[in-house]
Structure formats: C-alpha cells, structure tokens
Amino acid sequence: MLDLSTVFLLFCGLCLYILWRKTTRNVTLPPGPPTIPFLGNLNVKLDNLPETFREYRLKYGDVFSLILGSKTMVVFNGLETLKEVFIKNGDVTSERPDMFIAKEISRYKGIASSSGPRWKEHRTFAIGALREFGFGKKSLESKVMEEVEVLIKAIEEKRGTPFNIRGLLTLCVSNIMCSINFGQRYEHTDEFFMSLLEKINENLSNTNIMFVATIFPFLKHIPFDPFGLKRNLHNADDVEKHLTLVIKEHEDTYDEKYLRDYVDVYLKRMKSEGGNPNSTFDHEQLLKTIGDLFVAGTETTSTAVQWFIVLLINHPEVQTLMRQEISDVIGTSRYPCMDDRGKLPYTEAVLHEVLRFGCIAPLAVPHGLTKDFNYKGHVIPKDAMLIPNLHSVLNDPEIFEEPEKFKPSRFLDADRKLVNVDKVLVFSLGRRVCPGESLARMEFFLFTTSLVQRFKLLPSDPNKLPSLKGKLGITLGPEQFTFRAVGVESQN
Ligand code: HEM
C-alpha cells in the first residue's frame, strides 16, 4: 500500500509532467523559438510583437508557432501564405479561438467573438442591414459629413494653438456609429454618450492584460483586481445597461413602416422569428452586435486619421501636393465628397500609403479552427490560436520597396493610375474580412481630405516632429501628440 506522502509526490510529479508536456513544442507543430521547460515561450518580447514576429519569420519561415501558457499560437506570414490559409482553407480557419474577451465579455455572441452557424447568420444579417441602412449610399455620406463639419468647427475654434485631437476624433467617429445604430447623434456634453465612451475607452486601454488573461485565465480570480479585469467586466455590464435602455426605447416607439436605424431593422427580424424556439435573434445577441460595431468601428478609424495627421506633419511636401490636387479638382468653396475620389489619384495614393505605413491592426484578430488543421506537413490542433500577420504583408520589401519609408508614389504608375492597392491588407482577408471596410474608407476619405483642404497641419514645435513609432494596444496607433492646424487662408 502506498503511503500518503508517496501519493502526494506522485501527484506532484504527474502535474509537473503535464505542465512540462504542455510547455514543450510538439514535433508536429510548425517550428518556433526554443521552449523553456514549464514556461514555453513566455519569455517572448511582448512590447513590440510585429518586430519580434519579423525576426522569427526570418529565422523560422512563413509559419511559426509559440507556446504561451495553456495556448498554442501559430503565426502566418506573407501574402501567399495568408491567402492559402485564410481564403483557400477559410472553411476551417475562420472561427474565433477561446479568448478572455470572447468568453467573459461577449459570451461568444455578437459578430467578432462568435463562431460557426451563429456567426455566419449574424454576420450576413449585419452586412445586409448595414447596406439597407446606408452603407454605400448618399444618406450615410451625409451622416459622416455632419461629423466632419463638427470636427472642422472645433478645430477652427483652436485658432492655430497646439492641441491633441484624439478625444475629439473619437467623439466624432463614434457619433457616426450612434447614427447608424440608434438613429441619432449626441452632443459632446451628453451624459449618456460620454459615459458610454468612457467605459469603452477604459476597457480598450486594458486589452493587453485581457490578452494575458487569455493565456492565464486564473488571473480574473485574483483578489483585489490588481489587473483591472473585474473592472473591465463591470464596465462591459454598464455599457450593456445603457444599451438596453436604448433598445427598450426603440421597442416602445417601433413602427414597422418606418425603420429608423440598425436596432429597428434587427427588431423587425426578431419579430419575424417570433415563436421560433431555435432562433438566435434575441436581445443579448443584439446588444453584443451593437457593442462590436461600436468598438470595432470607432478606435480603428480614429487611429487611421491620427496616423494621417502625424505622417503629413512629418512629410509637408506630401501635404502640399495633396492640398494642391484637392484645390485643383474641388476648389475650396465646398467640402470633398465621395464622387470626387476617382478624380484624386494622388490623394488616394496618400491614403493607401497611410493605411499601409500605419498598419492599424498589425495582427488582425486571432482566428480559430473547426478541427485539427494539416498544413504543409504540420498538424495544428483545433484549440490553437491562429494569427494572420498583416504587418508581414504591409512591410514586405518584395511587395513594397523600402517599406520603412512613407512613399505615396509607390501606388501610382507612370499614367497616374493606382497600382498595388489590393495588397494593402489592412482590413484582413477571407471570410472574416472587416465588414465595415466601405464605411471606414468613406470616413477616412472625407475626414482627411476635408482637413487638408482647410488646414495646414503643423508640428506644435517646429524643432520636434511627432514620433512615427507605433504603440500597440487594441490598434497600432501613433504615440500621443499635439499639433497646430492653421487655416489655409490665414497662412500664419
Ligand atoms: C480603418 C478602419 C478599420 C480597420 C483597419 C479595420 C480592420 C479590421 C480587421 C483587421 C478585422 C479582423 C478581421 C479578421 O478577423 O481577420 C476587423 C474585423 C471587424 N471589423 Fe473592422 N476595421 C475598421 C473599421 C471598421 C468599422 C468602421 C466597422 C463598423 C461597421 C468595423 C467592424 C468590424 C467587425 C464587426 C469585425 C468583426 C468581423 C468578424 O469577426 O466577422 N470595422 N476589422
């Protein structure tokens, strides 16, 4: 008979063996940096992941793996590999993996965090409803322009003094999502609106920790909430309470003959499914979808415009050429509109180069698998986290010569026709490709062209240009900066 201490020792030995196995790379996985017993690859430099992954790609090839705590991560690099994995094998590689945000905040609902038939059904519905609600239509353009004008007016009020545009931009861009979702915009002093944004922003600023909690799920149980994870969950609950009130108001005033916004279109569908016990069109799914559209549609676009400003302050010659083109084609008496796009090739080249250089979502959003995935002799387990490394494409010297340089001319041929723009994979690819791409492009065009048409974008201090280094949070954004916007007429 074994005594208690022997049983205990055996148990500890078994635990250590399991931990050792879990943190050791299985031979069937793609290669990667050597694992450390019991730690795996937890020593990986997390502060600049795109750069770390660039180095790993040089060492281990287009597909490499990392063992991070309980998770296996497989990183895919290069245009052809991404197409093969996420388009050709999209039926297997378009799920979402098990992540803290998906599980604890979204409860696997909404669009960005759901998988399988639920995701397909609701993504298809959302794309159709958003189209019905203005995507690609004049009505949406006028909603965007309303916010552009608010932004321009607020900038005019700064009278050329230095300021940080981040908060203002976020308010304007999120108001566009409010118009689409709730049929109304909010004043920048509105209590409901400000509180909603504050909670969302607090959560966005903690996304790195939420990623760590994906690797170490026990973190959320640590007392006193040192990592702010419980606060994140409370914030998410508060946002939902706000949104529940908006939905209730919509239900109280719903008129099938007059659909005002996304919520109404969804309510119509919910009513049409009435009585079907298997329907996935319920309140919770609506709440999570609105949350997704709001979060995914705000920070990204605002970051893109901030990159534009930082890059054009650093490249005044590009700014002058772009302003000249806008002035020649549109003049100054009216704002730019979407119909002008085809007549502004240089401007279009600048905007593509900003998106390429800024690389707002360098690692997209992790994908998951429907089953074990056999890829080029490797077996990637079903529970692995797949990373489409968009940064590896946008910075690939084989596609974009001297990728570290900001060169809009790379997108124009000798006849000033746009070339290579399809390789700027900022919106990802395959079945999960960003469903907000057309709105984002519209916003980006209208905000940036209106800014350059009306203002010279100048550094706060002529001897110190804003940094071109990115900072990775939920997006890769420029470091915080201030600048001066001087009316082109006043020239001071
Ligand atoms: C410059 C602006 C934007 C960029 C760079 C961007 C980029 C991305 C990327 C890289 C993904 C991940 C795709 C993947 O999983 O492979 C994504 C997903 C998503 N985006 Fe965007 N996005 C932008 C704007 C928007 C806007 C304005 C909306 C709102 C309508 C939006 C809604 C979404 C949603 C709902 C998803 C999840 C899609 C899914 O999981 O099926 N995005 N976006």
- Strand pairing class (385-389; 378-380): unpaired
What's the pLDDT score for residue 202? 83
Counting every residue, how long is the chain? Answer: 492
Nearest to 360 by CA among 421, 310, 299, 444: 299
Q: At what angle do helices 229-252 and 262-272 cross, to 10 degrees?
A: 70
- At residue 478, does pLDDT exceed 80? yes
- Counting from 1 in the atom list of ligand 1, the atom nearest the Cα of 86 is 16
Count of beta carbons in the 10 Å neighbourhood of residue 192? 12
ipTM over 0.95: yes
User: How far is the CA of 50 from the CAs of 105, 213, 395, 480, in angstroms?
Assistant: 26, 20, 10, 20
Q: Whose CA is nearest to atom 43 of ligand 1?
A: 434
d(CA 35, CA 68): 10
Annotated binding site for heme: 434
- Counting from 1 in the atom list of ligand 1, the atom nearest the Cα of 433 is 13
Q: Write down the domain spans for the chain.
A: 23-36+45-487
Cα–ligand 1 centroid distance for 2 (angstroms)? 58
Cα–ligand 1 centroid distance for 363 (angstroms)? 12
Cα–ligand 1 centroid distance for 364 (angstroms)? 8
Torsional sign, CA 142, 143, 144, 149: positive
Q: What share of the chain is helix, strand, coil (3-state, %, to 5)?
A: 55, 10, 35
Of 137-141, 190-194, 300-304, 341-345, where does mean pLDDT reach its minimum? 137-141
- At residue 492, does pLDDT exceed 50? no
Cα–ligand 1 centroid distance for 140 (angstroms)? 18
The ligand 1 site (C-beta within 6 Å) comprises 111-112, 123, 292-293, 296-297, 300-301, 304, 360-361, 364-365, 388, 426-428, 432, 434-436, 439-440
Angle at 385 between CA 289 and CA 230, to 5 degrees: 55
Q: What is the pLDDT of residues 104-151, one digit of tens each?
A: 888 899 999 999 999 999 999 999 988 877 666 667 899 999 999 999
Q: What is the pLDDT of residues 69-115, one digit of tens each?
A: 878 999 999 999 999 999 999 999 999 999 888 888 888 999 999 99
Which residues 6+ apart lie within 8 Å of 358 measured at CB? 303, 304, 307, 308, 311, 470, 476, 477, 478
Q: What is the mean pLDDT of residues 159-181?
A: 94
Cα–ligand 1 centroid distance for 21 (angstroms)? 36
- Counting from 1 in the atom list of ligand 1, the atom nearest the Cα of 123 is 41
Where does residue 137 fall: left (phi above 0), alpha (psi -120 to 50 degrees), or beta otherwise?
beta
Q: What is the pLDDT of residues 219-267, one digit of tens each?
A: 888 888 888 888 888 888 888 888 999 999 999 999 999 888 899 999 9
Contact of 347 with 325, CB cutoff 8 Å: yes
What's the pLDDT score for residue 6? 78
Residue with tokens 């509109």, as numbered in its chain: 337
Annotated binding site: 434
What's the pLDDT score for residue 193? 85
Which segments of 30-137 does DSSP mark as H helices, in order?
49-60, 79-83, 90-93, 100, 116-132
What's the pLDDT score for residue 175? 94
Q: Whose CA is nearest to atom 10 of ligand 1?
A: 364
Q: What is the pLDDT of residues 72-81, one digit of tens each?
A: 999 999 999 9
Q: What is the pLDDT of residues 343-361, one digit of tens each?
A: 999 999 999 999 999 999 9
DSSP string, 456-475: EEEESBTTBPPP--EEESSS
d(CA 49, CA 55): 10
What are 38's strand-pairing partners?
none
Contact of 375 with 108, CB cutoff 8 Å: no
What's the pLDDT score for residue 375? 96
CATH 3.40.190.10 fits 23-36+45-487, yes or no: no
d(CA 143, CA 305): 17
- Strand pairing class (373-375; 71-77): unpaired
Q: What is the pLDDT of residues 283-298, one digit of tens each?
A: 999 999 999 998 898 9
Q: What is the pLDDT of residues 402-421, one digit of tens each?
A: 999 999 999 999 999 999 99
- At residue 9, does pLDDT exceed 70? yes
d(CA 110, CA 99): 14
Count of beta carbons in the 10 Å neighbourhood of residue 38? 12
Better-scored residue on pLDDT, 213 or 153: 153
What's the pLDDT score for residue 17? 60
Mean pLDDT of the chain: 91
